[in-house]
Structure 1
């Protein structure tokens, strides 16, 4: 686990800090003046990458969130920040950074505790600042769904003042369930490239039926680009990024006029509404997953292992808890290979690991070499119906 104190010590010493196992092989002269953090991006702009976020961008993000709280009638300096998100992601880094910027308590919530709503409620009620501060919480929809399904979880959520929900779209049934229980959700949108939130909806607007991600924060501009792609301009855009396969090339995040193009199709009509991805990326439990990259990775490993697999296709199928989960179709002459595939991917991250492997003798791309993913999803649904 990453120790926030170690991050702060490194930043105070003027260094760049990797928040995970970053391939820190870039020439130092490519780095902007420090200090800052190197954060793994979930891929909002297409493909996973590493982003360089200087310390003053984290400060700016925390200040913009404080202004948002003040605009809805809350004092940031009278808050308690609860954080169940991993600190090596920007979604987990920023709750801690906000708390230290505002001079308020920050409390980590381990993933094991989040799966025990009754114990979670008792644990938080024992916190010294619980009764005299407004409690702020950040969640992804998967965590929200688990808590809403349990009476103690709903009671816990009901004691929050603001619950920022991001990392994936908030499904309509989940939103309706939260509204019916009077849960103060604040759906938001942000990315590693933008140092977290760039829009947020107030709990009052959410409970009144607004289904957007809210309006831009005070330091943010939004617009729609080609193909209705969401574009963002703010002074806290990452100062550069690079991909694992090109660690020697520092790529710009913004274009020449300062706009960052996300990988999301959007609508802006008062509030921001995300309409889906422009690429094949999926959202699994708040993590962005790129099926084509996983297919290429698996086929490389299969060639090394010498297993008789002709092709694989990773499909995102709807899942009530995760949003989407991966199911993989496999064309092979040996059905025993399916068990070997499951073993080969057993150590992959949960979001990347298929929950099911399906033998598909007719699996093939089009004559043009393209995969018709929706057609194969329909094939899988027909198979499941036939098998009962």
Structure 2
């Protein structure tokens, strides 16, 4: 795979980028690259760059210029709050901030910064810029997974080999600072494909660009898919895509069935920031034929299922998931992992006889109630299947009798639905100990841009509700 500097010097002049102001991409990238190389002549250490551009063209051009100049670049959400920005500034101590202006009323330090080498972070080798991608923001504790151009392009190689493609065209409605949005750029840019960028809210209001969906991949999170399927015109448009990638959060049975009913070529994926997006994907033909899992492992990765003693388990046995991949992050900034060959994740799952990966749930989400192990995803799926709720999340709250009491926080389909109706339908579906003890009705569940529920916020809501 070519290096970012080579890409910058040979930028395509064709219409590979389809979005507002796309004609500015080349000029912005080359100008910033020249400015950064001037700075590098005066300082031994490459400047640390915070990239928080809202404008997609400026974001991507700045990203490419920073990589080409071999500068550590930290991708940031411009909509983070003061507390999150303070965390980031303390951790990063940036030299350059691109995209967001902190005004004089901001408590955050801006202006000249000392240029110091970060501990445990040696100077990058030539053309191996460190790319820091944020993760963990929904819990309030932001971390940056350390990637390089090599780890990101390793993910692209696995993707193109798996789908047997030379060129990837991407339709992006996800944030570019997040791995799910960034990787759509990397896939298209490095394979000579097209990248169309449109804010999701524009798409939702019916602003469909004139592209050929059959030639494109689109990536969505479950809540986005749910909203598009509520609109018949957008449902018909979505059904024209070559592949509709689905990830970021677990999808529920009803949503998958609705997508299959409308012949959406869905590809549920499994991956994370630390693996530079998916390491397993269910191909659309498998999905349309009725398979429901995370698909087979991509060529650049391996998955091992083991028990708590570290023994590798045979097919169909649930255990801890360990990932080996060429796309693995090097660590969490500023620290590099001692062992970068594999990553043990918090998820539990199994590989079936055909090599398809099935995810059961997160180990840390496991609720122990009355001595029984319960996984929220199973209960949430059963509650959704009643078709009486719009959204639901199941958590465990401390309880002196049960250890943890199952608590369902839900949005009913309408105000007349009571939790007693939902409970009565669950009695035939779930064991008694799996039926929630507490029910809390809300108008909205706190979710991040990837559709993941903020369980920490729900724990506080539940504690206040049960206290009163």
Superposition TM-score, scaled by structure 2 size: 0.56
- Among candidates 7, 12, 15, match of residue 71 of structure 2: 15
Structure 1 equivalent of residue 231 of structure 2: 150
Shift of 1:205: 0.3
Structure 2 equivalent of residue 212 of structure 1: 293
Over aligned residue pairs, what C-alpha RMSD do you find?
A: 3.8
- Among candidates 144, 148, 151, match of residue 57 of structure 1: 151
Structure 2 equivalent of residue 325 of structure 1: none
Shift of 1:355: 12
Structure 2 equivalent of residue 271 of structure 1: 356
- Among candidates 54, 60, 69, match of residue 4 of structure 1: 60
Distance 1:320 1:18, change over 3 A: farther
Shift of 1:225: 2.9
Q: Distance in 2 between matches of 1:222 and 1:263?
A: 13
Q: Distance in 1 between matches of 2:460 and 2:323?
A: 37
Q: Distance in 1 between matches of 2:198 and 2:204?
A: 10
Kept in 2: contact 1:42–1:192 (CA 8 A):
no
User: Is residue 238 from structure 1 mapped to residue 329 from structure 2 by the alignment?
Assistant: yes
Q: Distance in 1 between matches of 2:462 and 2:285?
A: 45
Structure 2 equivalent of residue 24 of structure 1: 92
Distance 1:231 1:316, change over 3 A: farther
Structure 2 equivalent of residue 335 of structure 1: none
Kept in 2: contact 1:137–1:163 (CA 8 A):
yes
- Cα deviation digits, residues 24-60 of structure 1 (max 9, x gap): 148435335240311112489xx75211001111111
Q: Distance in 2 between matches of 1:315 and 1:82?
A: 38
Could you list the structure 1 runs, at least 4 aligned residues long, displaced by more than 6 angstroms after superposition. 281-284, 313-316
- Among candidates 317, 340, 351, match of residue 409 of structure 2: 317
Q: How does 1:1-388 map to 2 (within 5 A)?
A: 1=54, 3-20=59-76, 22=88, 23-25=91-93, 27-31=117-121, 33=124, 34-42=128-136, 49-70=143-164, 75-77=165-167, 79-116=168-205, 119-120=206-207, 123-124=208-209, 126-127=210-211, 130=212, 134-227=215-308, 228-242=319-333, 250-252=335-337, 255=339, 258-269=341-352, 270-280=355-365, 317-318=409-410, 352=454, 357=461, 363=467
Q: Distance in 1 between matches of 2:224 and 2:305?
A: 30
Moved more, 352-361 or 56-65: 352-361
Q: Distance in 2 between matches of 1:8 and 1:142?
A: 30
SS in 2 for 1:88: coil
Q: Distance in 1 between matches of 2:163 and 2:121?
A: 33
Structure 2 runs not aligned, ≥5 long: 1-53, 77-84, 94-115, 309-318, 367-375, 381-392, 397-404, 414-445
Shift of 1:113: 1.3
Structure 1 runs not aligned, ≥5 long: 243-248, 293-312, 322-345, 364-382, 384-388
Shift of 1:155: 0.9
Q: Distance in 1 between matches of 2:462 and 2:291?
A: 40
Superposition TM-score, scaled by structure 1 size: 0.67
